[in-house]
């Protein structure tokens, strides 16, 4: 998907074009293999830690507390930060957050911005907003840098350029940066480093996300492996942190637990290479923290759905998901792909727009099995399916409701059941004589044979056997 | 290999313990009743050989899963209540499908958390669970001299924690050569109405499963979930190169004799 269109405009499924989710692309074969490998690898590493399952449970409970006490924790974080000269801002939606970033940039006369990896800025589509205002954004995370050069969207939460091979990156660098072609990892990272170094020094502002916002100590926690987030946040005179309000955790004592879970579930590391704890601006520099709501408080109205706000964006559910492995991140149409995207997107952009996403799952449960904060993703999906067919959404279909009402009537007793099953058996027998299979029947027979209809049912066998035995 | 990350098996009501001669109700899922009656017949023979007193309540229809998974909980509610009314008199309700058992035990309370529903919901038990956990049987005396790959349905595996049960039962079958499926834990792509709502993705997942079955070298694919097998089998039969690979329910293997 090109990044010229906004996320929502480019979202195929949101425009009733289901190709992405219906028809997987063979070009994602590498993606599937990489996900499968990471998933198995990370699970084995995590399972080797004694008490890992208890960690997951503990993290779940802490997140539950945090979401239930967001109001208090936000105020606590703000007062801690303000006391150290940090400006803390609250944005109701992406547009408000973008205005804040632009105001800050203009105030400091910023020409270019270096960015650490941040999904919240993807929600804001900050790069477009900056470009439109004549400010040049430069992604500094290697994966994000590749994706930005290719003018694409991140395909994965943690590894945005997972679909690129080294050879493809080499060609991209050759074309966009005029560098000699190479498919060597070391050579490619050296090229990226050379080009990015100058950008850090020239940038008037650094923008980053935030992995955890700790309330009691007033700490912004950013983890990374490349050193780029450290350079983006510390080099320019101004640092703007963008963070979703759900990223709060109550106490700094809990941080090691979450660092462990996030690194192990995200990349299979014990800890990431760098962990930055930012408490305030360096001397002579400015630090801003922008909290973004963008639909998150709407989720609080549905207590069944609170769990979706526990997510720490590790990407484990994406790697584990057989659907994600085949359709890739863009098919989900918005910022957050995979199983957690199918849960978060309907909440954040509205079920009326994204009501189809919860149906992009076989409900196999692989996502719920791996989630480090124990979000019950499969059950969140069935809950959202219920909401999607009962609220205004693309899945709310009077015809389908009528079908299920008829089905419920037919399943209301053994006679009606017998009648309905007679019709089904007849239909399946006749299907092979039809030149063309409509609707759901066609969807089945597109790649699968129908079952053979046997001469008798189980219940007729049971009755016959019992009457022969002289039993009722 | 069972999962290193245990999910959370739904509570099962095993108390008071099973007593020999106690009536045990069987629930035969609707598609099995109509398309695969021989599976139910095998299950009946296996359990009766163990001296179980089986009852088939004839008013039973469906567990309500198709409507539930499609989001139509209000439409599935009367079907669930009908199920609970029919099976209310029984302490043990055995079902030869992990997916339908998961619907009863895990998802009934989502739709209707009433006392009448909860009581019945917790008594529904999957066939291999009943054999291993309740009857303490791992050897059914079966003999099946063929190469067999096992497919464990995701609902049984992750919602109920049924994994070791079918594996133990399969291990004691005489003459059987077990073929490990590569990437065994990945979903086959059936997913109920998912298979016809997103057929492209469902079929792509099914194709991978087919390739892994071929790679395993098995002549038979065996599962405790024939709904997965209806999909996998349909794909195997469509391709002339894999048409010879047959699919069977675990009960049919455990019932086979030379």
**Per the omega criterion (within 30 degrees of 0), is the bond before B16 cis?**
yes
- Are B228 and B203 in the same domain? yes
Tell me which chain A residues have a C-beta less than 8 angstroms from the C-beta of B6: 53
A145–chain B nearest CA distance, Å: 30
- Are B79 and B28 in the same domain? yes
- Are B27 and B48 in the same domain? yes
pLDDT recorded at residue B7: 61
Mean of pLDDT values over A97-124: 97
pLDDT band at B2 (very low <50, low <70, confident <90, very high): low
Query: Is residue B194 domain-resident?
Result: yes
- Are B108 and B190 in the same domain? no
Q: What value does the mean pLDDT of chain A take?
A: 93
pLDDT recorded at residue A6: 47
Query: Is residue B247 domain-resident?
Result: yes
Contact state of A365 with B34 under an 8 Å Cβ cutoff: no
Range of the domain at A456: 414-469
- Are A26 and A76 in the same domain? no
A1 contact partners, CB below 8 Å, separation of at least 6 = A10, A152, A153, A330
Among residues B134, B168, B185, which one ends one of the domains?
A: B134
pLDDT recorded at residue A333: 85
Contact state of B67 with A365 under an 8 Å Cβ cutoff: no
Q: In chain B, which residue's Cα lies nearest the Cα of A41?
A: B4
A287 contact partners, CB below 8 Å, separation of at least 6 = A85, A86, A87, A238, A239, A241, A278, A280, A281
Nearest by CB to residue B189, choosing from A53, A362, A454, is A362
A86–chain B nearest CA distance, Å: 41
- Total number of domains in chain B: 2
Residue A336 CA to residue A292 CA, distance in Å, equals 16
The answer to whether A20 faces chain B, any CB pair under 8 Å, is no
Query: Is residue A302 domain-resident?
Result: no
Nearest by CB to residue B67, choosing from A21, A24, A408, is A408
- Residue B5 sits at φ, ψ, to 5 deg, of -110, 85
CB pairs under 8 A between A and B: 213
pLDDT band at B3 (very low <50, low <70, confident <90, very high): low
Nearest by CB to residue A405, choosing from B36, B75, B189, is B75
Residue A114 CA to residue A130 CA, distance in Å, equals 11
Contact state of B194 with A443 under an 8 Å Cβ cutoff: no
Among residues B75, B106, B134, which one ends one of the domains?
A: B134
Tell me which chain B residues have a C-beta less than 8 angstroms from the C-beta of A326: 201, 204-205
Q: Is it the case that residue A3 has pLDDT exceeding 50? A: no
Nearest by CB to residue B33, choosing from A388, A444, A457, is A457
Token reading at A69: 């006490």
Query: Is residue B157 domain-resident?
Result: yes
Residues B185 and A40 sit within 8 Å (Cβ to Cβ): no
Q: Is it the case that residue B219 has pLDDT exceeding 90? A: yes
Tell me which chain A residues have a C-beta less than 8 angstroms from the C-beta of B196: 440, 443-444
The answer to whether B154 faces chain A, any CB pair under 8 Å, is yes
pLDDT recorded at residue A26: 73
What is the number of alpha carbons within 13 Å of residue A88 lying toward its C-beta? 23
- Are A165 and A279 in the same domain? yes
- Are A392 and A243 in the same domain? no
Range of the domain at B248: 147-254
Provide the chain B residues 114-153 that lie in CB contact (below 8 A) with chain A. none
Residue with tokens 């069944």: A304
Nearest by CB to residue A382, choosing from B6, B110, B185, is B110
Among residues A333, A362, A396, which one ends one of the domains?
A: A396
Note the maximum CA span of chain A.
96
Contact state of B196 with A370 under an 8 Å Cβ cutoff: no
Tell me which chain B residues have a C-beta less than 8 angstroms from the C-beta of A22: 198-201
Nearest by CB to residue B72, choosing from A53, A359, A404, is A404
Query: Is residue A288 domain-resident?
Result: yes
Mean of pLDDT values over B66-90: 97
Provide the chain A residues 30-69 that lie in CB contact (below 8 A) with chain B. 36, 43-44, 46-47, 53
pLDDT recorded at residue A468: 86
Q: Do the strands B92-95 and B23-26 form a parallel or antiparallel pair, or are they unpaired?
A: parallel
- Are B119 and B169 in the same domain? no
Contact state of A448 with B235 under an 8 Å Cβ cutoff: yes
Contact state of B36 with A449 under an 8 Å Cβ cutoff: no
A297–chain B nearest CA distance, Å: 24
Contact state of B40 with A458 under an 8 Å Cβ cutoff: yes
Instruction: For residue range A66-109, list pLDDT tens digits in order.
Output: 999 999 999 999 999 999 999 999 999 999 999 999 999 999 99
Query: Closest by alpha carbon to A378, among A321, A313, A297?
Result: A321
Contact state of A326 with B204 under an 8 Å Cβ cutoff: yes
Instruction: For residue range A16-45, list pLDDT tens digits in order.
Output: 445 567 777 777 788 889 999 999 999 998
Name the residue with higher pLDDT: B137 or A330: B137
Contact state of A404 with B67 under an 8 Å Cβ cutoff: yes
SS3 letters across chain A: CECCCCHHHHCCHHHCCCHHHHCCCHHHHHHHHHHHHHHHHHHHHHHCCCCHHHHHHHHHHHHHHHHHCHHHHHHHHHHHHHCCCCEEEEECCHHHHHHHHHHHHHHCCCCEEEECCCHHHHHHCHHHHHHHCCCEEEECCHHHHHHHHCCECCCCCCCCCCCCCHHHHHHHHHHHHCCCCCCCHHHHHHHHHHHHHHHHHHCCEEEECCCEEECCCCEEEEEECCCHHHHHHHCCCEEEEEEEHHHEECCHHHHHHHHHHHHHHHHCCCCCCEEEEECCCCCCCEEEEEEECCCHHHHCCCHHHHHHHHCCCCCHHHHHCHHHHHHCHHHHCCCCCHHHHHHHHHHHHCHHHHCCHHHCCCCCCHHHHHCCCCCCHHHHHHHHHHHHHHCCCCCCCHHHHHHHHHHHHHCCCHHHHHHHHHHHHHHHHHHCCCCCCCHHHHHHHCCCCCCCCCCCCHHHHHHHHHHHHCCC
pLDDT band at A10 (very low <50, low <70, confident <90, very high): very low
A153–chain B nearest CA distance, Å: 22
A69 contact partners, CB below 8 Å, separation of at least 6 = A250
The answer to whether B1 faces chain A, any CB pair under 8 Å, is no
Q: In chain A, which residue's Cα lies nearest the Cα of B69?
A: A382
Indicate the pTM of the whole model.
Answer: 0.95
Q: Is it the case that residue A436 has pLDDT exceeding 80? A: yes
Token reading at A288: 């801003």
- Are A317 and A212 in the same domain? no
- Are A70 and A219 in the same domain? yes
Nearest by CB to residue B5, choosing from A369, A447, A460, is A369
Query: Is residue A304 domain-resident?
Result: no
Provide the ipTM: 0.95
Mean of pLDDT values over B218-244: 97
């Amino acid at each position: 998907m090109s990044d010229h269109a906004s996320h929502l405009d480019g979202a195929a499924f949101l425009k009733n074009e289901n190709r992405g989710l219906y028809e997987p692309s063979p070009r994602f074969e590498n993606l599937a293999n990489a996900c499968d490998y990471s998933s198995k690898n990370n699970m084995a590493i995590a399972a080797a830690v004694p008490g890992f399952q208890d960690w997951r449970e503990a993290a779940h409970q802490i997140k539950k507390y945090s979401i239930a006490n967001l109001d208090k924790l936000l105020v606590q974080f703000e007062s801690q930060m303000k006391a150290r000269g940090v400006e803390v801002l609250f944005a109701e939606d992406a547009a408000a957050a973008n205005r804040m970033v632009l105001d800050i940039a203009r105030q400091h006369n910023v020409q270019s911005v270096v960015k650490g990896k941040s999904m919240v800025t993807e929600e804001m589509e900050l790069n477009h907003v900056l470009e439109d205002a004549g400010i040049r954004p430069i992604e500094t995370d290697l994966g994000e840098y590749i994706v930005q050069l290719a003018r694409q969207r991140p395909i994965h939460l943690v590894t945005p350029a997972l679909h690129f091979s080294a050879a493809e990156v080499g060609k991209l660098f050759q074309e966009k940066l005029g560098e000699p072609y190479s498919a060597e990892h070391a050579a490619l990272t050296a090229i990226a480093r050379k080009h990015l170094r100058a950008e850090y020094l020239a940038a008037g502002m650094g923008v980053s996300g935030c992995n955890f916002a700790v309330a009691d100590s007033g700490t912004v926690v950013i983890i990374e492996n490349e050193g780029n987030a450290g350079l983006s946040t510390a080099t320019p005179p101004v640092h703007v942190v963008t963070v979703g309000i759900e990223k709060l955790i109550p106490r700094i004592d809990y941080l090691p637990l979450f660092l462990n879970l996030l690194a192990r579930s995200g990349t299979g590391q014990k800890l990431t290479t760098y962990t930055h704890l930012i408490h305030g601006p360096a001397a002579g520099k400015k630090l801003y923290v922008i909290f973004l709501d963008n639909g998150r408080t709407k989720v609080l109205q549905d207590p069944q759905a609170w769990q979706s706000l526990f997510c720490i964006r590790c990407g484990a559910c994406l790697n584990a998901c057989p659907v994600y492995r085949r359709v890739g991140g863009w098919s989900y149409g918005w910022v957050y792909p995979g199983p957690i995207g199918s849960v978060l997107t309907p909440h954040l952009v509205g079920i009326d727009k994204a009501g189809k996403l919860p149906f992009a799952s076989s409900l196999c449960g692989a996502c719920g099995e791996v989630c480090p904060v124990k979000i019950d993703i499969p059950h969140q999906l069935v809950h959202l399916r219920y909401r999607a067919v009962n609220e205004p959404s693309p899945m709310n279909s009077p015809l389908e409701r009528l079908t299920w009402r008829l089905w419920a009537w037919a399943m209301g007793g053994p006679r009606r059941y017998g009648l309905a099953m007679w019709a089904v058996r007849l239909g399946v027998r006749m299907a092979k004589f039809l030149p063309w299979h409509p609707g759901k029947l066609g969807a089945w027979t597109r790649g699968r044979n129908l079952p053979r209809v046997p001469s008798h049912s189980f219940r007729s066998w049971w009755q016959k056997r019992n009457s022969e035995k002289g039993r009722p | 290999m069972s999962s290193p990350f245990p999910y959370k098996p739904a509570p099962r009501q095993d108390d008071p313990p099973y007593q020999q001669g106690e009536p045990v109700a069987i629930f035969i899922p609707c598609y099995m009743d109509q398309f695969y009656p021989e599976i139910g017949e095998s299950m009946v023979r296996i359990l009766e050989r163990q001296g179980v007193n089986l009852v088939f309540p004839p008013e039973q229809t469906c567990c309500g899963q198709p409507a539930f998974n499609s989001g139509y909980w209000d439409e599935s509610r009367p079907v669930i209540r009908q199920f609970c009314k029919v099976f209310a008199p029984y302490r043990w309700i055995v079902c030869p499908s992990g997916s339908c058992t998961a619907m009863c035990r895990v998802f009934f309370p989502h739709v209707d958390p009433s006392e009448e529903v909860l009581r019945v919901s917790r008594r529904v038990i999957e066939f291999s669970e009943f054999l291993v956990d309740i009857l303490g049987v791992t050897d059914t005396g079966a003999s099946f001299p063929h190469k067999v790959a096992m497919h464990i349905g995701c609902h049984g595996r992750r919602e109920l924690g049924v994994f070791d049960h079918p594996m133990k039962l399969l291990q004691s079958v005489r003459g059987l050569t077990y073929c490990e499926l590569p990437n065994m834990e990945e979903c086959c792509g059936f997913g109920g109405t998912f298979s016809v709502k997103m057929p492209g993705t469902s079929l792509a997942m099914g194709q991978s499963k087919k390739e892994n079955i071929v790679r395993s070298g098995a002549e038979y694919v065996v599962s405790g979930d024939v709904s997965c097998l209806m999909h996998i089998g349909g794909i195997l039969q469509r391709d002339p190169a894999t048409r010879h690979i047959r699919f069977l329910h675990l009960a049919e293997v455990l019932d086979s004799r030379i």
